[in-house]
A = this chain, B = another copy of it.
Amino acid sequence: MKKHPPRDAAATRAAILASARRAFAAKGYDGAGVREIAAGAGVTAMLVNRYFGSKEKLFAEVCAATMDAPVILADANLSSAARARDMARALVGLTGPGAAPLDGFRIMLNSAGSKAAAGIGRRAIEKRYQPLLAGALGGVHAGERAALVFALVAGVQAMRQTMGLKALADADPQVLETLLTPLFEKLLG
C-alpha cells in the first residue's frame, strides 16, 4: 500500500483544471491570467504550461471537460411536453443568485471577445451539446431548434448573471418560469 504522496501529478493536473474552469467562467479567456489560475491551484504559472502546453490548449481542455456533463439537458427527458417547464425551472434556478455551476455557457459568453477562444468553444459545443440535444429533439429543423434553445439559455444567462440586468436578476423566479415555459414549449414541440 502506497500512501497518497504530496506530489500527485494527476491531482495537481485536476486542481489546475478546476481553477482554470473557475477563472475562465468568472473573467473569460482574456481576463483570466495564467498566474492567477496557477495560484488558484496552489502552484506556479509555469506548471500550467508544463501540463497543458499553452493557455490556449488549457482552455480547449476546460471547454471539453465542462461540456462532458450537459447539466440542463441531462436529467430532462425531452419526450414529454411537461419537460418545457422543467427546463424553464432548471434555467431559472441555475442562473439565479448563488452562482450556479452552469459553467459551460458562462465560459463561452465571457470569452466571446477572443477570436481564438470563441472558435474553440464553438467546436466544443458543436461536438457535444449540439448533437445531443438535436438528437433528443427530433422532428423538423431539429438542429436549428436545438441551437435556438442554446441561444435562449445563453441569453438568459448573459442577462441575468454576466450582465446582471436588474429586471431579470431580481425578478420573481416563479414569474420567469411562467414566462419561459411557453418559449421552451415552442422550441421543443
Contacts and interface: CB of A to CB of B under 8 A. Distances in A.
A contact face: mostly helix, strand, loop, or mixed: helix
Interface string A139-170: 00101111110111111101110111111100
Contacts of A119: 164
A167 to B, nearest CB: 4
Interface string A119-139: 101100110001000100000
A29 B28 CA distance: 12
Nearest to A114: B31
Interface of A: 27-31, 108-115, 118-119, 121-122, 125-126, 130, 134, 141, 143-148, 150-156, 158-160, 162-168, 171, 175-176, 179-180, 182-183, 186-187
